[in-house]
């Protein structure tokens, strides 16, 4: 693997604290509110969801 792919694997899969599995009802509500506010800017929305990645 190159450095970039190692970094992406860490950030999106291996980093402690990343939530896996289905989103909670609270997370879903927050996504809906943020989508109304930010539109389809999913990377910005993901940054506001603790433990979730933009992937």
Contact 27, 52 (CB under 8 A): yes
pLDDT of residue 21: 86
pLDDT of residue 36: 98
pTM tops 0.85, yes or no: no
DSSP 49: S
Tens-digit pLDDT profile for residues 7-38: 888 888 888 888 888 989 999 999 999 999 99
Q: In the chain, what are the domain boundaries? A: 3-47
pLDDT of residue 19: 86
């Amino acid at each position: 693997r190159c450095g970039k792919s190692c970094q992406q694997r860490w950030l999106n899969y291996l980093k402690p604290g990343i939530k896996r599995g289905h989103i909670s009802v609270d997370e879903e509500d927050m996504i809906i509110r943020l989508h109304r506010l930010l539109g389809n800017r999913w990377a910005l929305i993901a940054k506001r969801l603790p433990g979730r990645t933009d992937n």
